[in-house]
Amino acid sequence: TIRVNDITGLSSSRVDDYNDDWTHKDKDDTRWNYIYEQFKKGNFIAPIHVTKTPDGKYFVDGDGNHRASVAKVLGIPTLE
């Protein structure tokens, strides 16, 4: 379990899909909207993949960009 506030970046291949406030640039992105609705209902989806940086923060490493983004937007404190 990691603190969502300790996630400071997304996968380099996906970073351009998101705004500075962690929202998805495509408001109609079905995956992002689905995860948003699931998280609002309290349904959490599979753990995300992260890499820890030397300063103790994390960035999404491959799988989990949508989940990290939605968690940031909703103010969810932790993710697996």
Give the DSSP H or E segment for 8: strand 7-9
pTM: 0.93
Question: What's the pLDDT score for residue 62?
Answer: 87
Question: What's the pLDDT score for residue 61?
Answer: 93
With the C-alpha atoms ordered 40, 80, 71, 36, is the resulting torsion angle positive or negative?
Answer: negative
Per-residue pLDDT of the chain (80 residues; tens, 9 = 90+): 999 999 999 999 988 999 999 999 999 999 999 999 999 999 988 999 999 999 999 999 989 999 999 999 999 999 99
Asked whether 6 and 56 are in contact (CB, 8 A), the reply is yes
Question: What's the pLDDT score for residue 72?
Answer: 97
